[in-house]
Amino acid sequence: MGEYMKMAKVVGSAVISLLVLLTAGCQSFGPLRIKPVAAAHGAVLEPHFQLAYYRVDRAGMYHFYLQATTPPTGTDAAITQIAIIRVLWKPIPGVTPILHTAINATFRYLVITPSGAGMYQGAGFIRIHNGPRAPVMHASVVAGDLRLTGAAGYFRDALGPSRIVGNITAVRSGSKTLALTLGAQREFYLKTYRFRQRR
């Protein structure tokens, strides 16, 4: 009986440890990255986001704003990459689907240069690892798809249909998330409008 109880405690501890790892976000998906479906092995885009904010609205949806700006170097122009992500519901074991084949998030990925702009959109599955009021949010894009849905100016689609996967770390700020998201969308549409007017 003593050996049985000892074994039960060991198994119980292992199960608890596994649950902690799964719910605390210890799975390592690596940094957020985008890989073209048709690209050669190793051709992966990995934006280094300088800005990363999130907010949770009254309906319980999570909104993320990520921005990476690459300054001009030599003949290369400045490039701004913006990921706007919306998580419709937080996966909860036993309550909602938790498999990566489910869809609970939408993606909008903007690429803006001095001579053109492009918008990629898609959907996928994201795991949320913290509560809605966490000062710093950790989330994992388990699986997602992106496809070019709009472009203007001299924008070249260097990605094509792509996959998006990786971890997200964002600071909680409702005001900054909302203001930057609206500002980015306004800038994109203004740029595309101006580029079209030049034709």
The pLDDT tens digits for 38-81 are 865 557 889 999 999 999 999 999 999 999 998 877 767 789 99
7 and 95 part of one domain: no
Write the CB contacts of 105 (distance below 8 Å, at least 6 apart in sequence): 85, 86, 87, 88, 123, 124, 125, 126, 141, 144
Q: What phi-psi label fits residue 32: left (phi over 0), alpha (psi between -120 and 50 degrees) or beta? A: beta
121 and 188 part of one domain: yes
Length of the chain in residues, anyone? 199
Spatial distance between the Cα atoms of 126 and 27, rounded to a whole number of angstroms: 13
73 and 170 part of one domain: yes
130 and 84 part of one domain: yes
Domain count for the chain, please give it.
2
The pairing of beta strand 136-153 with beta strand 162-172: antiparallel
Q: Residue 120 phi/psi, 5° resolution?
A: -110, 140
53 and 83 part of one domain: yes
**Which residues of the chain register pLDDT less than 70?**
1-28, 39-42, 75, 95, 97-98, 100, 198-199
128 and 46 part of one domain: yes
8 and 62 part of one domain: no
Q: pTM of the prediction?
A: 0.81
**Domain ranges, residue 158:** 31-197
Q: How would you class 71 by CB atoms within 10 Å of its CB: exposed for 0-12, middle for 13-18, buried for 19 or more?
A: exposed
pLDDT on residue 74: 72
Beta bridge partners of 110: 82, 119
68 and 163 part of one domain: yes
pLDDT on residue 195: 76
147 and 104 part of one domain: yes
Give the CA distances from residue 118 to residues 21, 28, 111, 177, 198, in Å, rounded to whole numbers and listed in that order: 38, 30, 5, 21, 17
63 and 98 part of one domain: yes
pLDDT on residue 78: 84
1 and 45 part of one domain: no
21 and 68 part of one domain: no
